[in-house]
């Protein structure tokens, strides 16, 4: 499959975004490649910058999404974040979400994960393969966290708005 590469100063994550891949330029600046179902887009900014800009575009912030994920997935690390709750669009970090040079993959686009020694190969629904330096078992656990996060938001959106909330289960009392 051939991709065209375009360079942009600003971009947001959309439903066709499959991955955010950080890279350093020859001058030492951190940029990222946005892997899209239609090709690659070179963005002049870090993956964390692009994630935050996208969260803001959809009505939130990276910090708010991470705080929410921490409450739902208590005590866990390397948490996925919801970029857009209405679109149910979730990104999974391949490293620490707090590092600016962490790669991220979109939960919705992962078809399968294969093992390749200590690495794994992510197979996207459009048959594009991405080899990453994280084991299959670790990546599958992160994928499970993302599924749990998405399911929690789906449950919350379907809750009746006019019923008493005394019987609801929440991570924190002020949640509902």
pLDDT digits (tens, 9 = 90+) for 112-170: 999 999 999 999 999 999 999 999 999 999 999 999 999 999 998 887 766 555 555 55
Residue that the structure tokens 């008493």 belong to:
164
Residues in the chain: 176
Q: 42: which residues sit within 8 A by CB, 6+ positions away?
A: 5, 6, 7, 8, 31, 32, 33, 34
Boundaries of every domain in the chain: 5-160
| pLDDT tens digits, 70-118 | 999 999 999 999 999 888 899 999 999 889 899 999 999 999 999 999 9
Q: Looking at the whole model, is its pTM more than 0.85? A: no
């Amino acid at each position: 499959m051939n991709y065209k590469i375009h360079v942009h100063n600003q971009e947001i994550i959309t439903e066709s975004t499959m991955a955010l891949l950080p890279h350093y330029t020859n001058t030492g600046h951190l940029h990222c490649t946005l892997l899209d179902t239609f090709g690659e887009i070179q963005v002049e900014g870090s993956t964390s910058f692009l994630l935050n800009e996208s969260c803001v575009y959809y009505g939130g912030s990276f910090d708010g999404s991470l705080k929410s994920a921490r409450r739902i997935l208590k005590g866990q690390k390397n948490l996925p974040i919801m970029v857009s709750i209405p679109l149910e669009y979730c990104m999974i970090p391949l490293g620490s979400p707090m590092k600016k040079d962490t790669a991220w993959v979109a939960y919705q686009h992962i078809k399968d994960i294969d093992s390749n020694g200590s690495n794994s190969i992510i197979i996207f629904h459009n048959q594009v393969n991405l080899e990453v330096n994280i084991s299959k078992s670790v990546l599958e656990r992160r994928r499970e966290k993302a599924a749990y996060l998405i399911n929690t938001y789906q449950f919350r959106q379907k809750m009746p708005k006019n019923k008493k909330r005394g019987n609801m289960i929440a991570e924190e009392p002020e949640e509902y």
